[in-house]
Amino acid sequence: MSVLIKNARILDPAAGTDAVGCLGLRKGHIDYRGIRAPKAAYDEVIEAKGLWLMPGIIDLCARMREPGHTQKATMRSEARAALAAGITAVCLPPDTRPVIDNTAVVNRVNRIAKAAAGTYVYMLGALTKGLEGQALSEMSALKQAGCVGVGNGLAPVANTLIARRALEYASSLGITVHVVPLDPSLANGGCAHEGAVATRLGLTSIPVSAETVAMRQWISLVEDTGARIHFGRLSSARGVELLQSAQRRGLPVTADVAAHQLFLTDADLEGFNAMAHVIPPLRQAQDRDALRAALKSGVIGAICSDHQPHEADAKINPFPLTEPGISALETLLPLSLRLVQDGVLTPLQAVARLSLAPARVLGIERGSLAAGVAADLVLVDPSAAWKLNPADLLSRGRNTPFAGADFKGRALRTWLGA
């Protein structure tokens, strides 16, 4: 089916375009882009005055819970929720069950994703076998099977020698290593930021140094090996400073931030609010503000959801025993639009952080609205006012700290290209 979208505000970060125009889709590709409507006929014509047209969102971290945790969600439920939220591609971390550390699991996940018939699914392979931090995985085979990077999730690597060998191996293959910087000894099983709130509530804390010590170690190894590293889910102002310093020295280091870290702080844990239990933890207002500033400047290049849907029972125990994570696919775009409304990002910057920058991190040919490319795109109503009711989420996970929040802007329609 062919579609012509007329008079939309076209936001294409790949071309630096922010202008009203028309876009034609045919056979899964963009076949026309211009100021005026083409003479060619289309099966459907959409008048999009006042609406935004942007490349599909690429989410750098989303746990779809399959295989291994289908009591929480399924690939089918989450892929369809993602598509409805304007997300055309997601990247799975390797901590499925079984772990994505061999080609058989990669092929299994691909089959599940294909049957789900929703958003495109990419994968990170395991950096070490079984994510046990001891022996390196067969990264070459994982790359050939289609993995777009490797990582160890939140699981620690046994020692710096293994970490260095992993970076050397990844560098020789041209693979990006994805790191969630969290030193396990300093984190010490904690569940909240080290500060006044954790002290008052009696919660075991995670200091900022758990993030920065890990970052310093990995950055030092990048200096030795030249390997590409992507730091996922930064949470602190000091982490931003280390990232910026590494980039100024020309090191191949990039980073993303989870959308909730740009709005929530450890104050949202008051009352033992388990919906705000996340790892890395929510930190202080100055950390949130530093993350926003780094996102604006481009030091942090991408926003992700860090989607972790849970069943209701996972959030009803005493706070330290609840499972961390937010069901976040359906708030990724609305929260990013709120950054525009708050003056943190321009519309084009927001779209770049959601589409083009993640595509470049993963090394995939997406994030553009150029004529001839696959028609992965989203039509957005930036003025649509709505209130988040967890019962209305398409995701099976209803665990969100934004329940009852008022939002302005949402995806109206999403297209997947060829």
First vs last C-alpha separation in the chain = 12
Angle in degrees, CA 166, 223, 128, rounded to 5: 10
**CA 154, CA 174: separation in Å to the nearest integer?**
23
Instruction: State whether residue 182 is helix, strand or coil.
Output: coil
306 counts as catalytic? yes
Token pair, residue 239, equals: 């982490």
Instruction: Give the helix/strand (H/E) hosting 90.
Output: strand 87-92
Pick the catalytic residue from 59, 101, 256, 306: 306
**CA 150, CA 266: separation in Å to the nearest integer?**
30
- Say how many C-beta atoms besides its own lie within 10 A of residue 232's C-beta: 27
Angle in degrees, CA 256, 257, 262, rounded to 5: 150
Which of 27, 82, 90, 30 has its CA nearest to residue 54? 30
- With tokens 């709130």, the residue in question is 197
Active-site residues, by number, are: 306
